[in-house]
Amino acid sequence: MIEARGLTKRFGPRLAVDGLSFDVRPGRVTGFLGPNGSGKSTTMRLILGLDRPDAGQARIGGRRYRDLGWPLREAGALLEARAWHPGRTARGHLAALAASNGIGGRRVDEVLGLAGLTDVAGLRAGKFSLGMAQRLGIAAALLGDPPVLLLDEPVNGLDPAGIHWIRDLLRSLAAQGRTVFVSSHLISEMALMAEHVVVIGRGRLLADAPVADLAARAPSLEDAFLELTGASTEYQARRAEA
Amino acid sequence: MTVLARPAGPSRSMAGHYRFRHVARMEWIKLHSLRSTWCALVITVGGATAMAVLIGRGTRNGAGDLTNNALAGVAPGLLFTGVLGVLIMTSEYTSGMIRATLAAVPRRPLLLAAKAAVLGVVALVAGEAASFISFAAGGAALRHGIAAPSLAQPEVLRAVLLAGASFSLIGLLGLGLGAMIRHTAAAIAVLVGGVYLAAQAVGAASLGVARYMPVLIVANSLTTTKPATCSPHAAPCLHFLSPWAGLGLLSLYAAAALGAGAWLLARRDA
């Protein structure tokens, strides 16, 4: 369970996240949708305590992220591809993270296998393709076998087989009772993957509804999304012209 | 899917908390799993030793401070552990690793403390190796019938030990600067400027302040075995800090940089 309450983040004069409140419930994949620059990544960073909110707070399983006893065993996150030193091997990267949360070496081998990286575990991760990089990021997120997962644009750079793999993986994780929160700007992918969506624009909540309900309001989920976010993207375009 | 078979409901509870030893273990794995770490340490030891041999072979006056001569490679060699300290922090920002690190260890001062402990010990071991090997090699390279200094002579063991410790302290200074500045090039510029160049500039402008400069503390306080003798004609005469006062001041510099780094790390967005 992830709870956001009045999350607000300002970068200089720009309000990146504006009083955002929503819950992400366990047992289903929740999509996090919004146009580019709408504040999705910033919201994820606020939930993970990487950025400090100007107001409001986020909780994971009822606690602030920084108060978690074993963060990687309580929440796993993929924030960006290549969040590692390029000179380190895939196994070295995972082994270092595992050690910080008292996770054994056997689990490192398990997640390498799960992500399909066993054969390249000893290679320096700086040489990885974007698809392999995403898989290593997902392996890191799963390291602590966490009940909560946050993934920022996990399908970026994946080939069709990779996209299929992650869709099945996230749905099975949710079916096990985990909380799965996935951001994307690919509506068609969300329509296949998520049961519920949180839609934001200009840092504000636009919708928090089951995918089926949103899709029923318009010819498709994509049409519903464009209708919801139209105002905020138009506003951005005007700002850019001015 | 067997690896994910464990049910993961909200009711699953976990006792305990990650502690310093877990974070230190992560930092040790990070440090030793990079080839560049070992390169920097090998160059540190090799460079200091080579300098000691060259100076030893060229020494013709046995009355000088032979220990100080043999440890002449320490001051330039400090650059390597200093840069290693900078990179331990700034490479996390360059690569984006800092987000993964802070997601694993949200208590940021604890993270910096673990980095400091691991680097401090590794740089101390490498520094003492560089110092003792330089001392032995510099003594063995002496010619012209000059007797090599011995660790049993007064002040010699102290000079060799403190020379080794200075690698660790400059490494920690670099780590603190890395945490404060976050950009590799800028942090290295401040490190080199503060440790080496400022000594030249300040030394030229004011001899009274020169003795507080890191590189001069290492060269003239920590690694000497004989008090500098001033000829009455050379005025003004430089009075350097005592070895232990010099060590204290270097430690203070490192602690101040680490303290400021921890303060900023805890307050800034990652």
pLDDT in tens, B171-211: 999 999 999 999 999 999 999 988 877 767 766 666 677 77
A153/A58 same-domain check:
yes
A134/A152 same-domain check:
no
A81 in a domain, yes or no? no
Nearest residue in chain B measured CA to CA from A141: B100
A33/A99 same-domain check:
no
Residue A237 in this model has a pLDDT that exceeds 70? no
A140 in a domain, yes or no? yes
A95/A214 same-domain check:
no
A235/A158 same-domain check:
yes
Residue A236 in this model has a pLDDT that exceeds 90? no
pLDDT given at position B15 = 79
CB B42 within 8 A of CB B68: no
Compute the average pLDDT of residues B20-35.
Answer: 95
A122 in a domain, yes or no? yes
CB B80 within 8 A of CB B43: yes
Task: Give ipTM to 2 decimals.
Answer: 0.92
- Judge whether A166 is closer than 8 Å to chain B, CB to CB: no
For residue A28, give the H/E element and its range.
strand A28-33
Closest CB to A87: pick one of B22, B34, B102: B34
Q: How far apart are CA A235 and CA B87, in angstroms?
A: 42
Contacts of A116 (CB under 8 A, 6+ apart): A135, A165
Which of B13, B14, B105 to substitute to test the interface with A, most A CBs within 10 Å?
B14
A96/A180 same-domain check:
no
For the stretch A119-162, pLDDT in tens is 999 999 988 998 899 999 999 999 999 999 999 999 888 889 99
Residues of A in contact with B18 (CB under 8 A): 69-71, 100-102
Residues of A in contact with B267 (CB under 8 A): 52
Most confident range (mean pLDDT) of A232-236, B139-143, B225-229 is B139-143
A85 with B30: Cβ contact below 8 A = yes
- List residues of B whose CB lies inside 8 A of any A CB: 1, 3-4, 6-10, 12, 14-18, 22-23, 25-27, 29-30, 33-36, 91-92, 95-97, 99-107, 267, 269-270
Q: How far apart are CA A175 and CA B182, in angstroms?
A: 41
pLDDT given at position B2 = 43
B105 with A100: Cβ contact below 8 A = yes
pLDDT given at position A235 = 53
Q: In a 3-state reduction of DSSP, which class is residue B100?
A: helix
Give the count of alpha carbons within 13 A of A21, CB side only: 5
User: Two tokens at A106?
Assistant: 């056997």
For residue A14, give the H/E element and its range.
strand A14-24
E-assigned strand segments in A145-229: 148-152, 179-184, 196-201, 204-210
Residues of B in contact with A118 (CB under 8 A): none
Q: How far apart are CA B37 and CA B115, in angstroms?
A: 14
- As a residue count, chain A comes to 242
Distances (CA, A) of A204 to A37, A59, A124, B69: 12, 18, 40, 68
Residues of A in contact with B12 (CB under 8 A): 147
Beta pairing class for A55-60 and A2-11: antiparallel
Taking the CA of residue A227 and the nearest CA in chain B, the distance in Å comes to: 34
Residue B139 in this model has a pLDDT that exceeds 90? no
A55 in a domain, yes or no? yes
Residue scoring higher pLDDT (B138 or B120)? B120
Check the CA dihedral A196-A201-A207-A213 and report its sign: negative
Question: Which pLDDT band, with edges at 50, 70 and 90, does B237 fall under?
Answer: low
pLDDT given at position B9 = 43
**Listed residues A125, A145, A165: the one ending a domain:** A145
Taking the CA of residue B184 and the nearest CA in chain A, the distance in Å comes to: 14
pLDDT given at position A184 = 87
Q: Which of B179, B192, B202 is nearest to B266 (CA)?
A: B179
A92 in a domain, yes or no? yes
A53/A129 same-domain check:
no
Mean of the per-residue pLDDT values of chain B: 86
Closest CB to A83: pick one of B8, B100, B269: B100
Residue scoring higher pLDDT (B212 or A103)? A103
Residues of B in contact with A178 (CB under 8 A): 8
A133/A13 same-domain check:
no
Task: Look at chain A and report how many structural domains it folds into.
Answer: 2
Compute the average pLDDT of residues B84-99.
Answer: 94
A227/A108 same-domain check:
no
pLDDT given at position B203 = 64
Domain span at A137: 86-145
Q: How far apart are CA A66 and CA A78, in angstroms?
A: 17
pLDDT given at position B207 = 66
For the stretch A22-31, pLDDT in tens is 999 999 999 9
A35/A55 same-domain check:
yes
Closest CB to B99: pick one of A72, A79, A86: A79
Q: In a 3-state reduction of DSSP, which class is residue A25?
A: coil
